[in-house]
Structure 1
């Protein structure tokens, strides 16, 4: 086992705000606790049909209706302001479930093998603001490269902990925090933070996750992020990205970029030895309403690139609708074509078509690995798989239904030479209807 790097991301994030705070002369203006408050409700209707072609299950369909209400207060007057955020979620089963799909839309079935007719959760967050620094404690909506709940299912994942953000310097954002529990997409209660691909030993969980990061956007078209995290007794993970968009003229733009993760085991190494470097590179050419993207992704290590369970903290170019193309030692490439139908007089209608191909050698995986032995395949010397995605979305631009969004997604994934053991042959269809309501 390698010696893990010792660091405390939350301490680093707090320390990073000390200098900016020393130069902040005045507290930012506030509208007041009541005057600055808002209430939004998002309704999401979600249908998924996941046809597992290799095992031919009878029922791999889930359909549900989700409601997410978020109240955010303003801040009390004064140099140090206080506030409160509250949210409530409700999921209703319309059809299917029972854990047969595993799509994270509905709760997995219990004794009778059926998903319940409804599930719900709620939470609150106390917040404090001084100058350009905000501290939150409670149930958090997080979205960064190392810990992200995201909105790829009917309801979002939330985390219970504390976070700190600072915006004192123009073009810079510093943040850090610690989370001990997560509420998964399709659950009412909270549990310890797990991982998406690793199998933690029964009865052994990571107690918390620390993270710290900085985001920079100081030049037009150029952005960069640097993050570090520790999933206690599992891994230390580091992330860096750089993205640049350059407009040649009013018609043509160029967009190169890169993403890089390094993951290494730490503490009790509950998932065993990890030494993984994963990166992706992309280059997009935009011409009017057309965009063509080429991307290359590489996983260096005998374990897959892993991230927290059910989350969206996988900021890699080849993370697709079904597969992340993140297998041990996997190399993958992607071609994507996107078109904005505003060019044909239909604003709000967008589309994208992608094809991704990956291959790896799964015989290099340690069959005795604590957390990733399922990836080993004696027949996986030249394991391959590919995915084809089609995405069509329309957002209503005006009228009483303004911001109503309808999204259709199709994905086809096929594996060979042992890859289907960990990434199944699947045809998947999704229909997602969102309607956000701004109450006040």
Structure 2
């Protein structure tokens, strides 16, 4: 970036909150009266049957516990509070010969092979917070979820980040936020490390000193939602995101839902991952009819590098980010067709399912060779193709002692031709049981 303009998302987000402060409500619930304590139990089983020769199968099973305390705020114009959490992961199954699903810590032996994961791992953290009117500031260990920095939530334990954040809700339906983080606690580790990217993690000394972001999220209309975000991953990239989602109700039973997701990623500073100039977008169109839904989506990566994102995170807000593949190779084009059904239509409340098929193709011979991404792709991949089939079945208990307990069964099959060397042929089963408990 030029010296004439310095991208400071935290300052932008803070400045955006200032004009609305005079109109805010000073009422506070109190430190104790406004507090909550939740316990989240998650049992996760992953089984990946790798079909490529010389690649071993992965199978792990674990039980996770996440306790989260969130205080209210002390009375006054500026209220103070604290958020705290503790996590524990227990290994139920996962020998060295089957390690590597990413729900348990990875232990590498002296010979480079993966060994058995430890029987338990744990972590704890906290964040101090203050609130003035409708503006909230936090410093410490943060749970984040937005299109440019979203902690991984799909494994046994969640991912957290260490830094500061600022948010404002003065305008109904509009969230303004920003922040900066320097470390992350991945979902399968106890300790913190520097921020890196999914593909950059394959290289040494390619992590960043910090990530800064700012954004606006609009949900003030029943028909329209939209997000606009910008982020700087120091010495790696600037990333910008926009989405727009519209729902048109034809009648009481039928609605139409078109939408767009768009990312632009450009290298910055020392460009530790090399030259990046990537535009990635996806378009979807969903028809909801009663308890049925049908979705068609198209996704495109325009650039000679893959669409990359924060390592182990979920900041891939694209329609074709599936259970195994993200369909994000350089110059990849992909499409998806999905069908969903809510069994409340048959009198079974809480049971739902979705079946989808995705297919992508790319010319990997055009992949950039002057950066850290190139080794991940096949230089002979002129006609690289792959497909993935996904089936999700979920049941949420509606009442009784197990109210809100959910059981999710996920199955995926992925196949690729020899030109698409980045991802393997496999069949994968995941069984996830979630039990959230609101203790107070």
* Bin for the TM-score computed over the shorter chain: over 0.9
Kindly indicate whether the alpha-carbon contact (under 8 Å) linking 1:281 and 1:297 is maintained by their aligned counterparts in 2. yes
Structure 1 match to 2:149: 147
Q: CA deviation at 1:431?
A: 0.4
Corresponding position: 1:39 with 2:37: yes
Alpha-carbon distance in 2 for matches of 1:173, 1:234: 27
Q: What SS does the corresponding residue of 2:124 show, helix, strand or coil?
A: strand
Structure 1 match to 2:409: 408
Task: Give the 3 Å change call, closer, same or farther, for CA 155–439 of structure 1 in structure 2.
Answer: same
Q: CA deviation at 1:58?
A: 4.6
After superposition, the C-alpha distances for 1:405-438 in whole angstroms (9 at most, x for unaligned) are 000000001011421x211111110000011111
Alpha-carbon distance in 1 for matches of 2:47, 2:91: 14
Task: Give the 3 Å change call, closer, same or farther, for CA 94–394 of structure 1 in structure 2.
Answer: same
Structure 1 match to 2:212: 210
After superposition, the C-alpha distances for 1:110-145 in whole angstroms (9 at most, x for unaligned) are 438111000000000100001000000000000000
Alpha-carbon distance in 1 for matches of 2:221, 2:368: 45
Q: CA deviation at 1:401?
A: 0.6
Alpha-carbon distance in 1 for matches of 2:96, 2:187: 15
Task: Give the 3 Å change call, closer, same or farther, for CA 110–197 of structure 1 in structure 2.
Answer: closer
Structure 1 match to 2:59: 61
After superposition, the C-alpha distances for 1:89-129 in whole angstroms (9 at most, x for unaligned) are 00000111548543220000143811100000000010000
Aligned length: 436
Structure 2 match to 1:425: 425
Task: Give the 3 Å change call, closer, same or farther, for CA 159–98 of structure 1 in structure 2.
Answer: farther
Alpha-carbon distance in 2 for matches of 1:156, 1:356: 27
Structure 2 match to 1:15: 15
Kindly indicate whether the alpha-carbon contact (under 8 Å) linking 1:342 and 1:348 is maintained by their aligned counterparts in 2. yes
Alpha-carbon distance in 2 for matches of 1:219, 1:33: 32
Structure 2 match to 1:398: 399
Structure 2 match to 1:74: 72
Alpha-carbon distance in 1 for matches of 2:28, 2:269: 43
Matches within 5 A, 1:30-429: 30-55=28-53, 57-98=55-96, 100-111=98-109, 113-199=115-201, 201-367=203-369, 369-419=370-420, 421-429=421-429
Which ranges in structure 2 are unaligned for 5 or more consecutive residues?
none
Alpha-carbon distance in 1 for matches of 2:428, 2:126: 35
Q: What SS does the corresponding residue of 2:103 show, helix, strand or coil?
A: coil
After superposition, the C-alpha distances for 1:40-80 in whole angstroms (9 at most, x for unaligned) are 10100000001111035454101000000001111101111
Alpha-carbon distance in 2 for matches of 1:58, 1:298: 32
Task: Give the 3 Å change call, closer, same or farther, for CA 21–3 of structure 1 in structure 2.
Answer: closer
Q: CA deviation at 1:200?
A: 6.4
Kindly indicate whether the alpha-carbon contact (under 8 Å) linking 1:99 and 1:107 is maintained by their aligned counterparts in 2. no
Kindly indicate whether the alpha-carbon contact (under 8 Å) linking 1:97 and 1:106 is maintained by their aligned counterparts in 2. no
After superposition, the C-alpha distances for 1:345-398 in whole angstroms (9 at most, x for unaligned) are 00000000000000000001123x331012332320010000000000000000
Q: CA deviation at 1:20?
A: 1.6
Kindly indicate whether the alpha-carbon contact (under 8 Å) linking 2:50 and 2:56 is maintained by their aligned counterparts in 1. no
Bigger mean CA deviation after superposition, 132-141 or 55-64: 55-64
Alpha-carbon distance in 2 for matches of 1:251, 1:68: 39
Alpha-carbon distance in 2 for matches of 1:403, 1:131: 33
Q: What SS does the corresponding residue of 1:103 show, helix, strand or coil?
A: coil
Bigger mean CA deviation after superposition, 167-176 or 257-266: 167-176
Which ranges in structure 1 are unaligned for 5 or more consecutive residues?
none
Alpha-carbon distance in 2 for matches of 1:325, 1:350: 25
Task: Normalising by structure 2, report the TM-score.
Answer: 0.96
- Supply the RMSD in Å over aligned alpha carbons: 1.7
Task: Give the 3 Å change call, closer, same or farther, for CA 66–96 of structure 1 in structure 2.
Answer: same
Q: What SS does the corresponding residue of 2:107 show, helix, strand or coil?
A: coil
Structure 2 match to 1:439: 439
Q: What SS does the corresponding residue of 1:77 show, helix, strand or coil?
A: coil
